[in-house]
Amino acid sequence: MSQDAVVLHCQTVKSLPWDSIASDWPAVEGCLDSVPSLATLHDAYVERFDTFRDPEHAARVRTAIQVAAERAGAGEALSWEGLCSLQCVVLGCESVGFREGPAYARARLETYGSHPRLEEALTKKLVKNEGDALHPLLKACRVYLDVRFFHPFAEANGAAARLAFQWLAEREGIRLPELTPIFRLPILPGNAEEYQAFFDSAASLLARACEEPPASAE
């Protein structure tokens, strides 16, 4: 079996029963207005977990969060070009492209291979995700996993995945009581059980957002 994290992820994504995963999830229309926006929660997440490590990087991510919220509010489709523009904000650079060569994560325990058509494959996945008739939150979860495990950028792929999730979910009017259970959940590339736990966590948060306002934003 391949140990390429990208290959493992793609194999698992193809095997999952996407049409039935969210069959009993609450409708997005049931989200309470009193629940904080995803941009507010994402900003609080970065303040809590990232600022102490690199304040300047965290500040740029928080700017990107607001940009993502604006594009979501304008109803823009999530695209590869859009992800790159957000990543430029995160990295403080004028342009960024798909990584060149393999990448590593978790102290080099995860290897993300380099393939000639990897950028094209991710671009097609983003387009397909926009067009699929799935629950909006499930689509946001799927794009989060795709960006995280395609590992498209040379650095800050975690932030890119979070921003992709926020953009798509916020555009669809999704509100959640917190984001920490999603963004801090350990997930190994290609592990179907952990993917399902991720989906279950998202569904549980959506159910809470439809029932009662949170005590505080995390």
The rounded distance, in Å, linking the Cα atoms of 92 and 98 is 16
In whole angstroms, give the CA distance from residue 168 to residue 182.
15
| Architecture per CATH, 5-211 | Orthogonal Bundle (1.10)
Domain coordinates of the chain in residue numbers? 5-211
Q: 149 Cβ partners below 8 Å, 6+ apart?
A: 5, 6, 8, 9, 112, 189, 190
pLDDT, residue 59, reads 97
CA distance linking residue 153 with residue 99, whole number of Å:
5
Give the list of residues 6+ apart from residue 1 with CB closer than 8 angstroms, or none: 8
Distances 85 to 31, 45, 150, 162, 195 between C-alpha atoms, Å = 29, 21, 17, 14, 28
Residue ranges in the chain modelled with pLDDT below 50: 1, 213-214, 216-218
Query: Mind listing the pLDDT tens digit for each residue in 199-208?
Result: 999 999 999 9
166 HSE (CA, 13 A, CB side): 33
DSSP result, 93-146: -S---S-SS-EEETTTTEEE---TTHHHHHHHHHHHHHHS-S-HHHHHHHHHHH
pLDDT value at residue 2 = 63
